[in-house]
Amino acid sequence: MNTLLILFVFPLLIVFSYLFDRFARKTKFPAVILLMFTGILFRLLSSAYGFNQLRFLDDLIPVLGTVGLILIVLEGALELKISKEKLPLLLKGFIAALVILLLNIAALQWVFSSLFEMSAQVAVLSAIPLAIISSAVAIPSAGGLLDKEREFVVYESTFSDILGIMIFNYALRQFEVGEGLLNSSSLVALLFKIIGVVVISIGITYILFKLLRQIEHHVKFFLILALLILVYAFGKLFHLPALVTIFIFGIFLSNVKSLLPRFLKNYLDLDHTEKELHEFHLLTAESTFLVRTFFFLFFGFSIQLSTFNSIQPLIYGVIIILIMLALRYLYFSATTVQIKPSPLVYLSPRGLISILLFLQLKDISFVDLSLSPIDERVLLIVILGTMLVMLLGTLKKSKASQREDFAEDESHITVETQLDQPHTSDEETEDSLN
C-alpha cells in the first residue's frame, strides 16, 4: 500500500473516531457500532479496488485487543473511588457481575449443548466470551444515569471483565489437563493462586508507584504502561490471572490518599502526586481511545458480508440475547423487589473482550470449532444486538427523566402562580357576592 495513502487514511480514521465519540456522547448511540461499520465499508471499498492481501490484520487484531484489554481494565480501575460510603455499592457490583456471569455461562452452555448439539467443552468455552459485559462500551453509555447507577455500572462491568477472563483461562486450563470445571482441588488451587497474585500485585504496585514518583525523565508514563504489559505477558506465560495486577495498580493510583498509610503520607507531596496521576489517567484514556479505534476498525474490516448468506446466525444471536436479558431482568427484579425493568437491565453490551476471547479459541489445538454453529456471525449479531438494546434502554431512561423534570417544573409553576395571586379577604368576598 502507498505510504502517502496510509498517511491520509490513518489520521482520517482517528478524526472519524473522534467525531463518532462526540456523536455518541450527545446521542447515546455507541461509537463502537460506527467504527465497525466504517471498517466494513473500507473492506467493501478495498475489495472493489483489488486490495485484498491484508493477512497481517489477522495477527494484528489479537495484539491490539490484548493491549486494549489491559488499558480498559486500567482505565476502569482508575475510575473507581473506594471509600467507606461506597463499599456497599462496590460489593453489590461485584456480586452482580459474578452471579449474572455464572448464570449466563450455565444457561448458554445448556442451550448450546442441548439444543445446538455442541460438545460440552466447546459449549462452555463459547458461552464464556458471550457472557462478559464490555466495560469499554458500558461505562461511556452510563453517563445519563443517576450517580449511584452510573457507579454501579462502572463496578459491575469492570468486575465482569476481570472475572470473565479468569473463568475463561481457568476453563481452558482444566480442559487442557482433562479435568472437570467443578473439581474441588482445582478450585482451591485457583483460590490460593489468586491470593498469591494479589500479594505479588501489591509488591509490584509499590515498585511501579515508586518508579512513577522517582523517575525525573520527561518520558515515564509510557514506561509504566510498558512494564504493566510485560507483567501481563509474564502472567499469561505462567497461566496466572495477571489482570488482577493491572486492576490493583489502577485502584491504588486512583485512591492513593485513602490507601497510603499515614506515616508514608508525610514523606510524599500528595498534591504533586495527584497532578501526575491525573496526567497518567489522561494518557491512559487517550491510549485506550486510540487502541480501541483501530481494534474495532480492523475487526469490522475482517468481516466479510458475503458470509451472511443464512438466517440461522440471526436466530441464534436473538436467542442468546433474549436469554441474557431474561436472566438480567430476573436478577435485578429479585434484588430490587420490583417488576418494572431497571435501566441497569439494558446496560449489558458485549464488545472487545468477547471478540478477543473468541479469536483466542481459534488458536487452541484441542478445541474444534469447525462444526460449531456459534461463529463470528453470531458473535457480531450478539454485539450489535446488545448495543442496540442498551441504546433503547438509555433513550427510554432519558425520556422518563425529561418527563419527570417537566412534571416538577409544572408543579413549581403552579405553586408559584398560587402564591403570586392576591389574597382576598372575607369582607371583600362578601361585598362581591352582594
What is the Cα–Cα distance from 5 to 302, expressed in whole angstroms?
Answer: 20
The C-alpha atoms of residue 136 and residue 349 are separated, in whole angstroms, by 9
Q: Are 25 and 143 in contact (CB under 8 A)?
A: yes
Q: What is this structure's pTM?
A: 0.81
Query: 27-52, pLDDT tens digit by residue?
Result: 777 888 888 888 888 888 877 776 66
Residue 135 falls within a domain, yes or no?
yes
Decide if 249 is inside a domain.
yes
Which regions in the chain score pLDDT beneath 50? 403-409, 413, 415-417, 419, 424-430, 432-434
Number of folded domains that form the chain: 1
Range of the domain at 63: 57-414
- Give the pLDDT score at 194: 83
> Which three cell numbers, joined as nine digits, stand for 7?
498517511
* 70 domain-assigned: yes
Read off the pLDDT of residues 166-220 as tens digits, 9 standing for 90 and up: 899 888 888 888 887 888 888 888 888 888 888 888 888 888 877 777 777 777 7
> Given phi > 0 = left and psi -120 to 50 = alpha, else beta, which region is 117?
left
Measured CA angle at 353 (ends 286, 243), to 5 deg: 75
The amino acid at residue 130 is L
Which pLDDT value is given to residue 6? 77
Mapped onto helix, strand or coil, the DSSP state of residue 177 is: coil
Which CATH number fits the domain that encloses residue 203? 1.20.1530.20
pLDDT at position 434: 43
Residue recorded with cell 493462586: 193
User: Is 426 part of any domain?
Assistant: no
pLDDT for 251? 84
Grid cell locating 63: 495484539
For 51, what's the count of Cα atoms within 13 Å in the CB-facing half-sphere? 14
- Identify whether 14 is part of a domain: no
3-state DSSP call for residue 154?
helix
The reply to whether 349 falls in a domain is yes
What is the DSSP code string of 240-275?
Answer: --THHHHHHHHHHHHTHHHHS-HHHHTTS-HHHHHH
Give me the pLDDT at residue 1, please: 55
- Please tell me the distance from the alpha carbon of residue 395 to that of residue 388, in angstroms, as a whole number: 10
> What's the pLDDT score for residue 132?
93
